Amino acid sequence: MRNTFTKIEEIITDSKDLIATQIELYKLEIAEKSALVISSFILILIGIIFFLLFMIFIGISFAYLISNYLQSNVLGFFIVGLLFLLINIFIFTKRNSFIRVPIINYILKVIFK
């Protein structure tokens, strides 16, 4: 009878250890996935910053190019400003398909990978 109780106590102890180990494993998996998502967003943010700098320099260059053809700095910058406004309006109207859905899909892919 004591042998049975000893085995039951060992099973209970082993079960507690197994549950504790599973909890630690889930914590580590969540930490890993969180770190992956955060590091990916940081890399994306850096890429966006460099892309915006690129667009600023291209916009200024394009404005001066148009200014040379139209002989008016104001008109060249105004046309480029309108072009950027149209691009912004287009992106704003398509923000769900361009921004939200890809971000949500990426996060879900990382989490449920």
Q: What's this model's pTM, rounded to 2 decimal places?
A: 0.68
Measured CA angle at 32 (ends 108, 97), to 5 deg: 25
**Helix pair angle (2-70, 73-93), 10° resolution:** 150
Domain boundaries, the chain: 2-111
Q: 107, 113, 112, 108: which is closest to 40 by C-alpha?
A: 107
Instruction: Dump pLDDT digits (tens) for 49-90.
Output: 999 999 999 999 999 999 999 999 999 999 999 999 999 999
What lies within 8 Å, CB to CB, of 37 at 6+ separation is 107, 110, 111
Is the torsion defined by CA of 88, 93, 94, 96 positive or negative? positive
